[in-house]
Amino acid sequence: MTIDALHKMDDVKNNQEMWSSLGSGAFVRSDIKDVQKVMISLGAGIVSKETKERCIEILQSRLEEITKIEHDMMTDLTNISQAIQKLEPELELLAHRAKNE
């Protein structure tokens, strides 16, 4: 959504009024002073002023990283599920033996 919002800033003019998010669903009315520079969090409390285009690049890189992590997690989850399915018959046999002893 942020990347889309940055692309839509091409239609925004300097000094145009907008609602700025403060987080947690709170907003404040503000005036846009510069549509070409964006402040972006780099992590660890560090914020950098970047061009809109550079900000989009950073956000797209983060999105790609998150997508890869999500894919890796789904692969791991599938592997774990398959391992559990392979062990299930053995566990049932052990439970049956323990019950009969």
Domains observed in the chain? 2-96 (1.10.287.370)
Phi, then psi, of 99 in degrees rounded to 5: -70, -35
Q: What is the model's pLDDT at position 32? A: 86
This prediction's pTM: 0.70
Q: What is the pLDDT of residues 44-73, one digit of tens each?
A: 999 999 999 999 999 999 999 999 999 999
The one-letter amino acid at 77:
L
**Within 10 A of 24 (CB to CB), how many other CB atoms are there?**
5
